[in-house]
Amino acid sequence: MEDILSHIGDPRDLARLDYSALTELAAEIRKVIIATVSRNGGHLASNLGVVELTIALHRAFHSPHDKIVWDVGHQCYTHKLLTGRYTGGLSFSQLRQMGGLAGFPKYSESPHDVFNTGHASTSISGALGLLAADRLKGGDQRVIAVIGDGALTGGLAYEALSHAGQLGLPLIVILNDNAMSISKNVGGLSKYLSRLSMKAKYQSFRRGFDALVKKTPVVGETLYNVIYRLKRAVKAIFYTDNFFVDLGFEYVGPINGHNIAQLESLLSDVRKLDHPVVVHVITQKGKGYKYAEANPSAYHGVGAFSIDEGIADPNTGRSFTNAFGEAIVEAATRNHAVAAITAAMEHGAGLAPFKERFPERLFDVGIAEGHAVTFAAGLACQGLRPVVAVYSTFAQRAYDAVIHDVSLQQLPVVFCLDRAGFVGGDGETHQGLFDIAFFRMAPNMTILAPASKSELKAMLDFALSSKSAVMIRYPKSDCPEECGAFASPLKNGRGVFIRRNNAPICIAFTGSLYTQALDAAERLASWGVAADIYNLRFLKPIDEDYLAGLMNAYTLFVFAEEGVRSGGFCEYAASLAVERRCHAHIATLSAGEQFGGLGKRDELLRINGLDGESIAAFVRTAIAKNDRMAE
């Protein structure tokens, strides 16, 4: 096959290719995506599903003058390849690597990335804002929001659709319908889109008829406009079962999302409309790679894998996610009131085993985290013990529901936050650095941070017996090996010593930093510096008398936290030391006030001073500083 992709430095280069070459280009792009993701990890199935759609978009529109906003953004790889990032300074081969290409749209990378995304359901709002601003400035840009049917389960998308219909601006919404978000789509919207898709024969006839009318000599365009207005009038009277039409959108589709010629022709017509339009496109998630086609959920976000053999079983290994999955199944076996709620993250949150055992107690609400929390509050009001399993970064979207519907009512909802702290590969939008800070301020909230599998299980059991809300946060990493200290029972507001030899120095850590704290203590020991290690366990509430007493027992007390400093545990601990007039020197290590970045978790910990080597160096510096202060 001729190497076509290497000659595409800009979307304008697509114009010189015929449809045969474009088909070859699509196949080449799929090979590049599969090969790159197999090495670097990333989002595979979603990107394989939109290759032809992306090519057609860049043929019909003129980026970056015309703006394309990708919802979530985990389907933007083809877009990046067509906009000058296949080779060069930001090479696609460095996808998701530190200093390399982001796996999501990032406007600092390219003028073709016009709006940063990473969370679902934001594209229509952002695109509408871009379009409204352009029109206020007298511009003529076309703005396109590409949103999946999964992301359309989020409430923000409906707020934006309602406003777009009200404004009447020529916003173009591409509804990428693949019957999937991450896990298989559920709910009324999915069924509704399926009903619309059944009308494909009518839509095919309509497109053929329109094309025929346009070709009519002399009067073709005029006749087409008359028929178009007539169809609108007829639909207004008889055709009232299309949600998008009722909101004020023209609805076009469904259309085959893998036919470049048909897509380009339709999008070129849509480009001329002067009112909002929804283009309903049917695609196959994972297209072109047999393993991803057969199991698109498993191939949504993947680590490195063998192209020939596929990914390893995602349910194996000793990750915190798998530990949670085992713990909640055990808890639900003992207690029939335990229910689990997920926001389209059944596999990612570790709930697949729970669903297999207790399908009637697993509720997948779609990409609707706020609803998940308030729904859980309703379950709790009826005596159930709901567990909301969600990534830390997505819990941000449910903050009001946590405060208003759970905390205020003092309801016993359990929140299990996966991917807390630094998250490798996905960049700024997916870091879990903020949960400690913004949930510590919530009244009636307990926050726990396990350091091991046994601690996670004990904390879940503790949470399920609590009379108010409990949040358990854990990282995307392996669970450390167990040790004797982890087996000690939980005491409210207190942690546990992992190592205690009455040393003059103590390193206290939030659970996810256990491995790093242990490494730091071993490095210090090799330098002749003894340090005790204290696992905080509880980040709220805190037995303040006990913690103040601990701090007073040491010359130097170091707190290490995998979260932002502002509002976090380190800030609280330093304040407590001042308030209680502790004589120990208090030093704190945290992520700082930032969004994190691109790279593996170990790399991110290192550059933020939270790996074992950096913690040890920090302690040595603090010792030297303390000695100088004592002189």
pLDDT digit string, tens, across residues 473-495: 999 999 887 766 667 889 999 99
Q: Determine how many CB atoms are found less than 10 A away from the CB of residue 630.
A: 8
Fold of 320-473: Rossmann fold (3.40.50)
285 is catalytic: yes
**Maximum average pLDDT range among 93-102, 221-230, 554-563:** 554-563
397 is catalytic: yes
Domains of the chain: which residue ranges?
A: 5-282, 320-473, 488-630
Residue 375 has pLDDT above 90, yes or no: yes
- Regarding predicted confidence, which is higher, 57 or 228? 57
361 is catalytic: no
The per-residue pLDDT for 594 is: 81
- Residue 136 identity: L
The per-residue pLDDT for 425 is: 83
Residue 311 has pLDDT above 70, yes or no: yes
Return the HEC string of 147-211. EECCHHHCHHHHHHHHHHHHHCCCCEEEEEECCECCCECCCHHHHHHHHHHCCHHHHHHHHHHHH
Task: Using the CB atoms, write b or e for 352-390: b if 16+ within 10 Å.
Answer: bebbeebeebbbbbbbbbbbbbbbbbebbeeebbbbbbb
Q: How would residue 75 be classed by pLDDT, with cut points 50, 70 and 90? A: very high
The active-site residue, picked from 30, 142, 361, 397, is 397
The per-residue pLDDT for 193 is: 47
The per-residue pLDDT for 89 is: 75
Span 525-541, pLDDT tens digits: 999 999 999 999 999 99
Query: For the ranges 38-47, 223-232, 421-430, which has the lowest average pLDDT?
Result: 223-232
Q: How would residue 372 be classed by pLDDT, with cut points 50, 70 and 90? A: very high
- Is residue 183 within 8 A of residue 151, CB to CB? The reply is no
The active-site residue, picked from 28, 264, 369, 455, is 369
Residue 197 has pLDDT above 80, yes or no: no
Residue 132 has pLDDT above 50, yes or no: yes
Enter the tokens of residue 516.
């790093």
Domain 5-282 matching CATH 3.40.50.970: the answer reads: yes
Query: Average pLDDT of 132-140?
Result: 96
Residue 421 has pLDDT above 60, yes or no: yes
The per-residue pLDDT for 299 is: 87
Query: For the ranges 126-130, 233-237, 251-255, which has the lowest average pLDDT?
Result: 233-237
Q: How many residues appear in the chain?
A: 631
In whole numbers, what is the pLDDT of the chain averaged over residues? 88
Residue 181 has pLDDT above 70, yes or no: no
Residue 183 has pLDDT above 70, yes or no: no
- Is residue 156 within 8 A of residue 127, CB to CB? The reply is no
Query: For the ranges 51-55, 167-171, 215-219, which has the lowest average pLDDT?
Result: 215-219
Residue 228 has pLDDT above 60, yes or no: no
The per-residue pLDDT for 394 is: 93
The active-site residue, picked from 30, 80, 96, 285, is 285
Query: For the ranges 99-108, 222-231, 319-328, which has the lowest average pLDDT?
Result: 222-231
**Looking at domain 488-630, which CATH architecture does it have?**
3-Layer(aba) Sandwich (3.40)
Give the span between the Cα atoms of 168 and 274, in whole angstroms.
8
Q: Can you state the angle between helices 514-526 and 612-630, rounded to 10 degrees?
A: 60
Antiparallel, parallel or unpaired: β 301-302 and 250-256: unpaired
The per-residue pLDDT for 240 is: 44
Query: Average pLDDT of 576-600?
Result: 90
Span 451-476, pLDDT tens digits: 999 999 999 999 999 999 999 999 99
